[in-house]
Structure 1
Amino acid sequence: MTSVPVFANAKARGIVPEWSRLGYGNFALASSPLATQAAGGPADVVMLLGARVGMFTGTGPRSFIPPGAKVIQVDIEPEEIGRSRDVDVALAGDVRDTLRVMMDRARGRTFPDHAAWLDGLEQSKKMLRAMNDQPASRETPIHQSRVAREIADALAGDGIIVADGGETSIWMAEQAIVLNAGDWLSHGYLGCLGVGIPFAIAAKVAHPDRRVIAILGDGSAGLNIAEFDTAVRHKIPIVVVVNNDQGWGMIRHGQRTRYGSDRVVGAELGATRYDLVAEGFGAHAEFVTTASEIGPAIKRALASGKTACINVITDPDQPHMTSVAMAKGSLPEGEVELPYYGKKKLVPTA
């Protein structure tokens, strides 16, 4: 009715199908320079529908909401409205009921033409997904976006994707196209790692007729690896893909950017055979070291009808741009930045 695009956080992807012109699974696209240029400027009104204010919706430097935009906040909990930022219009109520009232009031009205903005957003969405196509085409070392693309293409919008890990979840979020609410499960930006296998098990139990693929970082895999036993014992046929870059990627790449390649501490892991671990629990197992084998391995795992683990050895030296961007910036003399924990003053020792 209004041609207003909808941007979703990790909990709401698929509420509006992402193959449609109005559905966007990455709300960072709202501040895309290409889209802003096409629209003739940034968004002037942003409506938060049941979305709690946080790092990307507050007032800080990472917020996608333009500083000059009017903000409408709809939430069923009145105390949440305006709790972390000032809002211009506060609507306390259930999102569904509120939208129904808005739709009723909108009928017969004329709304601005958003075609130019939507064109820019559509191009931004395509560019984000295709940004790493060239390095992803190589056979080895396997680029992480290739793994994510193979998973997205294998499901083709018909199945549930679970993403667990730091950089791993971001690689997957860029490639996934989510068509239905509940078809994307992840830990959100707070990064509560280790949820991948439990989420996948729960999704398959709730929807036994749906295909479920979970992608885990190798660090995340280690947190709940024994849940393969749970899935095997209860005959729950989920497919788990391990993005094995042999380290805590987001931490490692942040340290390399900030301190130098020779100062990585506590972020390296081995080329662990998670496939053999899963096989020991009775799962179908695949070990992949070349890119062209990812797709066939996924097909075999889905066809096995069993709990399955696909251990993919990926490039340990391929950072996601997010990790690099968060670690950049100059620091005053006598200060050090600990990734995710902020700036700390150096205390001289005797």
Structure 2
Amino acid sequence: AWNELIKLAEEMKIPVVTTMMGLGAIPEDHPLSLGMIGMHGKIGANIAISECDALLGIGVRFDDRATGDLRYFAPKADIIHVDIDPVEIGKNVRVAVPVTADAKSALRAILKEAKSNAEIKPNKEWLQKIKELKKKFASKMDYDDIPIKPQRVIKEAMDVLDDDAIIASEVGQCQMWAAHFYDFKKPRTWISSGGLGTMGFGFPSAIGAKVARPESQVVNIAGDGSFLMNSQELATAVENDIPVVNCILNNRYLGMVKQWQDLFYDERRSATDLGQSPDFAELAESYGAYGVRITKPSEIAPGIEEALKSGKPAVLDIVIDPDEQVLPMVPAGGRLDKMIT
């Protein structure tokens, strides 16, 4: 239903935000796109949700990672909730207009009504505010630091990969860095474990995506902890000649848990230091895959390019700053408009 979504947004000049699982439904460089909302969403997107006076939710479940404190979620808005499953409607948020329908059918009906209603006019002040939010809170990604900043890894990947490349992710900081900083241009190019948040999900799902769409570039954005959950699938990828690229953001920690321990538990760390991790590049080579270790920002783009050219399953062991956190962040149970930055 992404074509209908974009047509409706353009016809009525409605700004669009997405949940993590909806990334790619609208190109993130579209003037009306504000990107992802939620715990690790874009600041501008979260502010827009908090200040809007009407909210059309298409196929979303309004989970707590997207909404934050429900008492302050879109407090000024009348919510129209469209979902094919009536059980989802009104389950988590107050709904002014419930619509049980297929997303595409509903969007087509709304678009038809919008085109026939001459009284609908764009809110120029709101659109100007959206433009200002995008500019004010644009992401910084061009870091030259050593150890490497993960934002720089995502930037280099975007510059190298095709717009229709499929990005899978493991779970943890790597997942949120990918979701927040990667500008998805096409639908169905983002595969990640939302809801359950299953560590080890990314690599096997990338293998499946490459089998389904062999003509597409497929890259798994991984953390060292999550990759270790299913690293043995290198054998599967090599045996079946499935050339997916794993970009491991290696900070030697279970990073997301460490971040919570540091922010909310006075830096009392427990069981998050991975100590002596394997050399992931050598591990890949031992399976017959392509492996390389990257320690400088200038090595990232050539590393990805060579991995793609190798025609083999590949692992890039990218050494990143162990103290870098996923920010901005809404604390658990916090308000979307009160983010840690």
Shorter-chain TM band: 0.7 to 0.9
Structure 1 residue corresponding to 2:270, chosen from 265, 268, 285? 265
SS of 2:99's equivalent in the other structure is: strand
Task: Tell whether the 8 Å contact from 1:56 to 1:64 is kept in structure 2 after alignment.
Answer: no
Task: Tell whether the 8 Å contact from 2:167 to 2:191 is kept in structure 1 after alignment.
Answer: yes
Task: Tell whether the 8 Å contact from 1:46 to 1:72 is kept in structure 2 after alignment.
Answer: yes
Structure 2 residue corresponding to 1:4, chosen from 14, 21, 31? 14
- TM-score norm. by structure 2 comes to 0.85
Aligned to 1:339: none
Q: Is 1:81 aligned to residue 93 of structure 2? A: no
Aligned to 2:339: none
Output the amino acid matched with 1:292. Answer: S
Output the amino acid matched with 1:277. Answer: L
Structure-2 separation of matches of 1:83 and 1:147: 38
SS of 1:32's equivalent in the other structure is: helix
Output the amino acid matched with 1:168. Answer: C
Aligned to 2:184: 178
Of stretches 186-195 and 80-89 in structure 1, the one that deviates more from structure 2 is 186-195
Task: Tell whether the 8 Å contact from 1:53 to 1:84 is kept in structure 2 after alignment.
Answer: yes
Deviation at 1:191, TM superposition (A): 2.2
Structure 1 residue corresponding to 2:108, chosen from 93, 100, 107? 100
SS of 1:130's equivalent in the other structure is: coil
Task: Tell whether the 8 Å contact from 2:44 to 2:137 is kept in structure 1 after alignment.
Answer: no
Q: Is 1:22 aligned to residue 29 of structure 2? A: no
Aligned to 2:44: 32
Aligned-pair RMSD on alpha carbons?
2.6
Output the amino acid matched with 1:80. Answer: E
Structure-1 separation of matches of 2:135 and 2:304: 24
Task: Tell whether the 8 Å contact from 1:164 to 1:195 is kept in structure 2 after alignment.
Answer: yes
SS of 1:107's equivalent in the other structure is: helix
SS of 1:11's equivalent in the other structure is: helix
Q: Deviations 1:97-152 (Å, cap 9, x if unpaired)?
A: 1111111111132423244434443454455553354xx222x1111111111112
Output the amino acid matched with 2:270. Answer: V
Structure-2 separation of matches of 1:226 and 1:180: 31
Deviation at 1:8, TM superposition (A): 1.6
Highest CA radius of gyration, 1 or 2?
A: 1
The 1:317–1:281 alpha-carbon spacing in structure 2 relative to 1, beyond 3 Å, is same
Following superposition of structure 1 onto structure 2, how do residues 312-327 of structure 1 map, counting pairs within 5 Å? 312-322=318-328, 326=331
Task: Tell whether the 8 Å contact from 2:43 to 2:328 is kept in structure 1 after alignment.
Answer: no
The 1:248–1:75 alpha-carbon spacing in structure 2 relative to 1, beyond 3 Å, is same
Q: Deviations 1:29-83 (Å, cap 9, x if unpaired)?
A: 68738965xx9x810111111111211455x527883223111111111122112
Deviation at 1:297, TM superposition (A): 0.5
The 1:284–1:116 alpha-carbon spacing in structure 2 relative to 1, beyond 3 Å, is farther
Task: Tell whether the 8 Å contact from 1:8 to 1:25 is kept in structure 2 after alignment.
Answer: yes
Deviation at 1:84, TM superposition (A): 2.3
Following superposition of structure 1 onto structure 2, how do residues 111-126 of structure 1 map, counting pairs within 5 Å? 111-125=120-134
Output the amino acid matched with 2:283. Answer: V
SS of 1:47's equivalent in the other structure is: strand
Deviation at 1:181, TM superposition (A): 1.2
Question: What is the identity percentage for the equivalent residue pairs of Structure 1 and Structure 2?
Answer: 32
Deviation at 1:7, TM superposition (A): 1.6
Structure-2 separation of matches of 1:34 and 1:51: 16
Output the amino acid matched with 1:76. Answer: I
Task: Tell whether the 8 Å contact from 1:35 to 1:117 is kept in structure 2 after alignment.
Answer: no
Structure-1 separation of matches of 2:140 and 2:215: 33
Deviation at 1:249, TM superposition (A): 0.7
Task: Tell whether the 8 Å contact from 1:129 to 1:175 is kept in structure 2 after alignment.
Answer: no
Output the amino acid matched with 1:91. Answer: V
The 1:33–1:9 alpha-carbon spacing in structure 2 relative to 1, beyond 3 Å, is closer
Task: Tell whether the 8 Å contact from 1:256 to 1:264 is kept in structure 2 after alignment.
Answer: yes
- Tell me: higher relative CO, structure 1 or 2? Use CA pairs within 8 A at least 6 residues apart: 2
Task: Tell whether the 8 Å contact from 1:21 to 1:118 is kept in structure 2 after alignment.
Answer: no
Aligned to 1:137: 144
Task: Tell whether the 8 Å contact from 2:35 to 2:42 is kept in structure 1 after alignment.
Answer: no
Q: Deviations 1:154-191 (Å, cap 9, x if unpaired)?
A: 11523111122211111112221112111111112542
Aligned to 1:274: 280
Task: Tell whether the 8 Å contact from 2:79 to 2:96 is kept in structure 1 after alignment.
Answer: yes
Unaligned runs of 5+ in 1: 330-350
Task: Tell whether the 8 Å contact from 1:205 to 1:236 is kept in structure 2 after alignment.
Answer: yes
SS of 1:256's equivalent in the other structure is: helix
Structure-2 separation of matches of 1:119 and 1:189: 34
Task: Tell whether the 8 Å contact from 2:206 to 2:218 is kept in structure 1 after alignment.
Answer: yes
The 1:239–1:114 alpha-carbon spacing in structure 2 relative to 1, beyond 3 Å, is farther
Q: Is 1:283 aligned to residue 289 of structure 2? A: yes
The 1:193–1:311 alpha-carbon spacing in structure 2 relative to 1, beyond 3 Å, is same
